[in-house]
Structure 1
Amino acid sequence: MKDTFKHKGKRQQLAAIVEAKGVKDKKVLEAIKNIPRHLFMDSSFEDHAYQDKAFPIAADQTISQPYTVAFQSELLEIKKGETILEIGTGSGYQTAVLCELGAKVYSIERQQELYKKTKLFLSKIGYRPKFLSFGDGYKGLPEYAPFDKIIVTAGAPFVPKALLSQLKVGGRMVIPVGDNVQVMTLYIRKSAKEFEKREYGDFRFVPLLEDKN
């Protein structure tokens, strides 16, 4: 599939929709305009690529709704060069947004099939996360910690302590918490033991899978 002027026009419209829903961060909106979301989906579903909705992809996962991706990215307040841990690589769309924002991205995917596919695909279209791994998101990546920011892109029934411990003091973690419906939650690390918690309403995500092996 190619990226045409028509696609670019649709992305401008999508960014306008996301902005109208309340996302103000210009860099995040630019990322939405720049990333060819249709390439992250099966070509037969190309018509759905620039609608503001989630869509099924491989391994019972979804490519997140653009508004949700933009909203989480805005909450992180990313500065260029920051290290970011992403839990749930999925289609790689959120990963690409983080790369567009100039972050050094470390990403974990639990589904082997998706991990292999996305790793190849991202490098093919020019997005190169620092580290992409197959593994258990609940454990994070302690060997690369601490991180400036952490983003969880699947619904977590609870907040994994391992992830909070891998956040730098002053760092921000955005995580949707809950079972059927999740509350978008922001944690700001104030000190070694103190976290400030803020909540931003209900969202729906596929569940964050634990490694049962």
Structure 2
Amino acid sequence: MTEHWTTKAQAAADTVAWMIKLSIWWWLLTAIGLGVFGAAPASATGAIAVRRRSRGERVRFRDAVGIYRSEFVSANLALTPALLIMLLLLLNLQWFAGVPQLTPRLLTLAALALMALAACYLPALYAFYDLRRHRYLLQAIRIVFARPLWSVLMILVSAAVVFGTYKIIILAPIAVGVWLHTSSWLGLRFFTENEARRAAATEQVDHVGGRTRGNDDVFALPTEPLRTH
């Protein structure tokens, strides 16, 4: 029994240390990209590192730097549009604050919430699927609507990180690592389970109409090759 709890405590300590390390890497890599152009590849690097770690691989800082360099342009093309759209929506929300009509503010706030939730999926989506760069954001938005339960869990995770940071402000520097690890782990698990269902699903023949029907419980994520890194 003691050994069981000791193992759990050690695993928890390793996870905390990993999230702190992930935060440090993210801040350093973002700074290398001068902030604006560094955040997206740093987030993609973090998600890829989380995926490798979940497979039992050891990920060091030099590995993260190598991923960052190889994915710099690609990750910016795939992830930065979501950040720019959210920035534009924030500016619109600020401008609409001086408008007496409530509808523009509500619509802008709803669009901002949608984009923020889609952005939560983007790092894990980038780490798992090999898509054309302009398709990542569209697929993330599609997931938000197609899998509401996934989205609720993603909201709860993100809200917990924000609330914890607000209550314990000293945790702010490592909050990004906590969020990146939990959201990436959750997203990667979603996609892995979905792929397992896709592989196990067999088409059923509709004897009446002579057609085939797929398993409706499987979300038809892109069929492009999965990433191997």
TM-score interval, smaller chain: under 0.3
Structure with the bigger percentage of helix: 2
Structure with the bigger percentage of strand: 1
TM-score normalized by the length of structure 1:
0.26
TM-score normalized by the length of structure 2:
0.25
Larger radius of gyration: 2
